[in-house]
Amino acid sequence: MASAGGEVVVVDPAAAARMGDDVATSSSWTLLFRALKLALPALRDAAGGRSLSRALIVAASLADLQMDAEVISAGIVRQAMDAGAVAMADAEAQLGPGAAALLRESLDVKNAPSSQVDVADEEAASAVRNRILSGYDVRAVILELAIRLDAMKHLDGVPKHQQRTTSLEVLKVFAPLAHAVGAGALSKELEDLSFWRLYPQAYAQVDQWLSGQEDDCKRVLATCKDDLLQALAADDELRHAVAGFDVKARYKSRFSAMKKLVKDGRRPEDVHDILGMRVILDHRAGCGDGDGHRACVRTHEVIKGMWKDVPARTKDYIARPKGDGYRSLHIAVDMSEPGPEGKKRPLMEVQIRTKEMNDAAVFGHALYKGCLADPEEAKRLKDIMLAAAEVAAQHLRDEPATGDQTGVPAAAAAAASAGNIERAFRLLDKNGDGRISMEELTEIMEDLGAGGKDAEELMRLLDDNNDGSLSSDEFALFQKRVELKAKLEDKDDEYKEILKQKLQKVDDTGLIHVYRKNLSDKLVSG
């Protein structure tokens, strides 16, 4: 047990010992401890403890992003605030003005894509992103991004329309923001989760294509990375010109692959970066190789000695930089097993560049780098978080994710295609008193061959203020949500068709929603 300022917080003694005395006495530790002390009891009471373990996971992910203790403590407390368990005044009193300012800004970032903005519109989304990037501390942006990722992982229990709004905001605003601040892995995760929620059929197609070869390709990437690091370190010319090497390997994300097929109109065999490797050379100044071009070319030669080079795909953007100044040597190698019976694999793209070139290419790099904690400190902060997570796991049971209990009934969704809100409302409001009563709703649903149960379900969904009838405002709000759903479903269908053709997979989803069509016909023709 550890006590701070009267209240008692349970801490696993073994975990506390691992943290070490130096950490326990540091100001980072004090701040994190205060945040935990404030949030733990509140979050433990909320949602069966689920929010507490989530808060700790968010905190650990912020530590992984090399955020400082102020951001991490703000992350823990933000979860407690979002659960309605902690007020801003308490956060400020416990954590001080720095963390409180971060919390306030993160809430501003959270609310930046307001309901007035149509984030599906690229220009509007870009304006929101720019406003966030120029208006707020980048640490507050990263804090909100970590919270968003957590939210995206726990959307099962929230209403469908909310799932879509959140996913669309993430896809259009927050995932590109993560990319812009240099948090590439976070961006990728946000994209794939929102892609899956918004376009489930299209996601399934891409997933089927990519997952088939994923394990094998990832194994190849891991082996190649090790082999390449060894070969580069053993090369005499490179040893002279380069102080160190960094090799990054990545398997293409679902969303990124989908964009190539759907938006660029490529065939799957024309996607040449499913396997990707990037070699970053820490080029020595004054070694007689100007900007490091020669070292990059030498790296290519070493690679040619190891794997099967595909000369037609070599692009030297160092000798001839792209219009935007992008510099990098791009090559491709064929990692298929030899012989006619050998396993065929997609090509592997290798980007070779110096640190300077890489810094310039990774947009926003400086922005993100400016607020990173010392890597050692970041590791220690992470240890504290993991220790706290262990403690939490001992005391709390994570609730299993709940199923989707709030699906929009097919008949309700049908109203989407009606388009004309006023006309639809007038049609349903049979006695013309400006409200749709339960009787009126039941009547029209029965006209359509649906039972009273469907009417009840529909009423529950639409009746925002629970007064048992629908105002035209409630109806309009509903219509807006349903239109978004219909738009997404159309796109999902469209993408699915394109992907299906390209990936030549048989479609097995032929559901015809006769019921839905009936209602929309009725609403349109009425």
Ligand X SMILES: Nc1nc2c(ncn2[C@@H]2O[C@H](COP(=O)(O)OP(=O)(O)OP(=O)(O)O)[C@@H](O)[C@H]2O)c(=O)[nH]1
Ligand Y SMILES: Nc1ncnc2c1ncn2[C@@H]1O[C@H](COP(=O)(O)OP(=O)(O)OP(=O)(O)O)[C@@H](O)[C@H]1O
* Residue 467 makes contact with Ca ion by CB under 5 A: no
**Partner whose binding site includes residue 277, from ligand X, Ca ion, ligand Y, none (CB under 5 to 8 Å by kind):** ligand Y
Taking alpha carbons only, the member of 247, 316, 251 closest to residue 280 is 247
Looking only at residues 213 through 252 of this chain, which bind ligand X when binding is defined by CB under 6 A?
none
What is 135-189 written as a DSSP string?
Answer: HS-HHHHHHHHHHHHHHHHT-TTS-HHHHHHHHHHIIIIIHHHHHHTT-HHHHHH
Looking only at residues 82 through 101 of this chain, which bind Ca ion when binding is defined by CB under 5 A?
none
Neighbours of 404 (CB within 10 A): 13
| Residue of 278, 284, 294, 487 that binds ligand Y (CB under 6 A) | 278
Minimum CB separation from ligand Y for residue 369, in Å? 15
Neighbours of 260 (CB within 10 A): 19
Burial 151-162 (b: 16+ CB within 10 A, else e): bbeebebbbbbe
Only segment of 16-24, 191-199, 297-305, 319-327 that touches ligand X (CB under 6 A): 319-327
Taking alpha carbons only, the member of 61, 68, 143 closest to residue 105 is 143
Minimum CB separation from Ca ion for residue 432, in Å? 7
* Residue 413 makes contact with ligand X by CB under 6 A: no
Which phi-psi region, left, alpha or beta, contains residue 325 (left: φ > 0; alpha: ψ -120 to 50)? Answer: left
Residue pair 256/188 in contact by the 8 Å Cβ criterion: yes
Residue pair 482/415 in contact by the 8 Å Cβ criterion: yes
Please state whether beta strands 275-283 and 347-354 pair in parallel, antiparallel, or not at all (unpaired).
parallel
3 state DSSP class of 344: coil
Minimum CB separation from ligand X for residue 70, in Å? 31
Site string for ligand Y, 324-353 (x = CB under 6 A): -------------------------x-x--
What is 50-100 written as a DSSP string?
Answer: HHHHHHHHHHHHHHHTT--HHHHHHHHHHHHHHTT-S-HHHHHHHH-HHHH
* Tokens 């407390």 found at: 77
Question: 417 burial class (0-12, 13-18, 19+ CB within 10 angstroms)?
Answer: middle
Minimum CB separation from ligand Y for residue 261, in Å? 11
Q: Which is nearer to Ca ion, 80 or 332 (CB)?
A: 332
Minimum CB separation from ligand Y for residue 9, in Å? 39
| Residue of 236, 324, 341, 508 that binds ligand X (CB under 6 A) | 324
Q: Which is nearer to Ca ion, 106 or 358 (CB)?
A: 358
Only segment of 64-72, 115-123, 197-205, 272-280 that touches ligand Y (CB under 6 A): 272-280
* Residue 326 makes contact with ligand X by CB under 6 A: yes
Q: Which strand (E) or helix (H) includes residue 130?
A: helix 122-135
Minimum CB separation from ligand X for residue 260, in Å? 7
* Residue 284 makes contact with ligand Y by CB under 6 A: no
* Residue 277 makes contact with ligand Y by CB under 6 A: yes
Only segment of 36-44, 157-165, 202-210, 318-326 that touches ligand X (CB under 6 A): 318-326
* Residue 322 makes contact with ligand X by CB under 6 A: yes
| Residue of 284, 315, 365, 491 that binds ligand X (CB under 6 A) | 315
**Partner whose binding site includes residue 324, from Ca ion, ligand X, ligand Y, none (CB under 5 to 8 Å by kind):** ligand X
Minimum CB separation from ligand X for residue 210, in Å? 15
What is 208-277 written as a DSSP string?
Answer: HHHHHHHHHHHHHHHHHHHHHHHHHHH-HHHHHHEEEEEEEEEEPPHHHHHIIIIIS---GGG---SEEE
Q: Which is nearer to ligand X, 61 or 358 (CB)?
A: 358
* Residue 365 makes contact with ligand X by CB under 6 A: no
**Partner whose binding site includes residue 272, from Ca ion, ligand X, ligand Y, none (CB under 5 to 8 Å by kind):** ligand X
* Tokens 């262990």 found at: 390
Minimum CB separation from Ca ion for residue 440, in Å? 5
For residue 87, give every residue at least 6 positions away whose Cβ sits within 8 Å of its Cβ, in sequence order, or none: 81
Q: Which is nearer to ligand X, 326 or 501 (CB)?
A: 326
Question: Position 200: which residue type?
Answer: P
Q: Which is nearer to ligand Y, 44 or 365 (CB)?
A: 365
* Residue 273 makes contact with ligand X by CB under 6 A: yes
Question: 388 burial class (0-12, 13-18, 19+ CB within 10 angstroms)?
Answer: buried
Tokens of 367: 């922005």
Site string for Ca ion, 267-306 (x = CB under 5 A): ------x---------------------------------
How far apart, in whole angstroms, are the C-alpha atoms of residue 17 and residue 387? 10
* Residue 361 makes contact with ligand X by CB under 6 A: yes
Residue nearest to ligand X (CB): 326
Minimum CB separation from Ca ion for residue 79, in Å? 35
Q: Which residues bind ligand X (CB under 6 A)?
A: 272-273, 315, 322, 324, 326, 330, 351, 361
Which residues in this chain contact ligand Y in the complex, by CB under 6 A? 184, 188, 248, 250, 252-253, 256, 259-260, 273, 276-278, 349, 351
